[in-house]
């Protein structure tokens, strides 16, 4: 994807690759519409020859070599327990996120869509539209043309199921302890659970939000509780980037304009690992941009962000 398609900080927009999965039902073949962030997509290829991976989960079709890099292929239909037609032809979406290359087998890749995060709603039973669908695998839904619904999958949970996250540090290492509260924003329950556990290990109480809109509401709630003491009580904000209603960059551009909140340390914790996002994170005023989930880097950078605020408070005291 070229530089011309980079979206500016604060626009609250994203670009999605529209892909399809077909499912056999009693009424015939149903085509589900899904999306993955363009920032995570390296290329789309035909199904290569795969080598089976003994002991891997059923939804892992195998591995293949792409220009010297071994890439696992996740069959999204299998992961979602969808039964496709027998004559389906697979395409592989090669993604890079969480500092890993992963291929996702889909039935068709259609187009690129530009969508405002305000138009994406958190997943719900009614939005998914089918009682057999596992709603825990969806993080967001949005209406497109002809009143059809596009679903955004929780790819974080695939990474966790494969055991690729490393959310712990060596038992011999000491995690620096703090007092106070951390606000964490993430639409993925899997990722939110990991970050919450990390914050609690640092001695912090945790307030959770699933998107930027909720994050701003939580900031207002915390200000009502702590008032002028908020900057010393709310030690850090940990925010994902991709979230329904309001993404992390737009959330940052909003709260950084508010004199009550602007000096609270912000750390982005995102699965997007392209080099442009790090730049955008700094433009948004973050102390650090981290790729999920390297525990050692996470604890180090969060501690540095908290200390930077302590130093600022000491100077202004």
State the CATH number of the domain containing residue 26.
2.40.50.180
The answer to whether residue 171 sits within a structural domain is: no
Instruction: Give whole-number Cα distances, 193 to 5, 13, 21, 131, 149, in Å.
Output: 32, 26, 29, 26, 28
Residues 117, 16 share a domain: yes
| Position 294 in a domain | yes
* pLDDT of 149: 93
Q: Do both 15 and 128 map to the same domain?
A: yes
Q: Is residue 176 part of a domain?
A: no
Residue 245 — φ and ψ, nearest 5°? Answer: 70, -55
Contact 16, 35 (CB under 8 A): yes
Indicate if 239 and 144 belong to the same structural domain.
Answer: no
**Domain termination site, one of 155, 173, 205:** 155
Q: Domain for residue 165, yes or no?
A: no
Q: Are residues 110 and 220 in the same domain?
A: no
Chosen domain end from 137, 155, 173:
155
Residue 287 sits in a domain whose CATH number is 3.40.50.2300
pTM above 0.85, yes or no: no
Q: Examine residue 173 and state whether it is found in any structural domain, yes or no.
A: no
Whether 151 and 242 map to the same domain: the answer is no
Domain identity same for 132 and 223: no
- Residues 266, 256: Cα–Cα separation, whole Å: 10
Range of the domain at 235: 181-316
Residues 307, 196, single domain; the answer is yes
pLDDT in tens, 7-51: 444 568 889 999 999 999 988 999 999 999 998 999 999 999 999
The number of folded domains in the chain is 2
Q: Mean pLDDT across the chain, nearest whole number?
A: 87
Query: Strand order of the sheet with strand 100-106?
Result: 41-46, 91-97, 100-106, 69-75, 60-66
Q: Higher model confidence: residue 97 or residue 169?
A: 97
Domain co-membership, 151 together with 185: no
pLDDT digits (tens, 9 = 90+) for 212-237: 999 999 999 999 999 999 999 999 99
248 inside domain: yes
Positive or negative, the CA dihedral 96, 43, 276, 251 is negative
* Whether residue 300 sits in one domain with residue 231: yes
Tell me, yes or no, whether 36 lies in a domain. Answer: yes
* Claim to verify: residue 137 and residue 8 sit in the same structural domain: yes
Query: Is there a domain that residue 199 lies in?
Result: yes
DSSP-assigned beta bridge partners for residue 293: none
pLDDT in tens, 102-160: 999 999 999 999 999 999 988 764 444 444 445 567 888 999 999 899 999 888 788 77
Q: Which two tokens stand for residue 268?
A: 């982005």
Q: Is residue 137 located within the same domain as residue 188?
A: no
What are the start-end ranges of the H helices in 68-137?
A: 76-79, 125-128
Last residue in a domain, options 121, 137, 155: 155
Are 253 and 239 within 8 A, CB to CB?
Answer: no
Indicate if 9 and 145 belong to the same structural domain.
yes
């Amino acid at each position: 994807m070229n530089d011309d398609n980079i979206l500016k900080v604060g626009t609250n927009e994203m670009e999605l690759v529209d892909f399809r999965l077909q499912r056999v039902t009693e009424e015939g073949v149903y085509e589900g519409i899904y999306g993955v962030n363009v920032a995570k997509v390296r290329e789309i290829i035909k199904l290569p020859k795969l080598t089976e991976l003994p002991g891997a989960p059923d939804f892992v079709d195998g591995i293949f070599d792409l220009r010297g890099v071994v890439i696992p292929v996740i069959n999204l239909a299998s992961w979602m327990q969808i039964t496709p037609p027998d004559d389906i032809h697979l395409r592989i979406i090669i993604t890079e996120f969480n500092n890993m290359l992963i291929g996702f087998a889909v039935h068709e890749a259609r187009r690129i869509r530009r969508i405002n995060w305000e138009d994406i709603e958190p997943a719900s039973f009614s939005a998914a539209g089918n009682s057999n669908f596992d709603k825990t695998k969806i993080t967001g839904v949005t209406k497109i043309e002809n009143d059809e619904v596009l679903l955004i999958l929780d790819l974080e949970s695939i990474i966790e199921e494969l055991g690729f996250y490393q959310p712990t540090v060596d038992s011999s290492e000491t995690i620096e302890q703090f007092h106070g509260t951390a606000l964490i924003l993430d639409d993925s329950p899997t990722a939110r659970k990991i970050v919450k556990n990390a914050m609690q290990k640092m001695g912090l109480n945790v307030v959770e939000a699933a998107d930027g809109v909720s994050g701003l509401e939580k900031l207002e709630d915390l200000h009502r509780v702590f008032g002028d003491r908020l900057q010393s009580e709310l030690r850090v904000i940990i925010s994902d980037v991709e979230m329904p209603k309001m993404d992390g960059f737009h959330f940052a551009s909003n709260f950084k304009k508010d004199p009550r909140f602007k000096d609270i340390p912000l750390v982005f914790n995102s699965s997007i690992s392209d080099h442009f996002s790090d730049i955008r994170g700094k433009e948004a005023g973050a102390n650090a941009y981290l790729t999920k989930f390297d525990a050692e880097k996470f604890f180090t950078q969060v501690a540095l962000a908290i200390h930077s605020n302590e130093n600022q408070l000491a100077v202004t005291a």
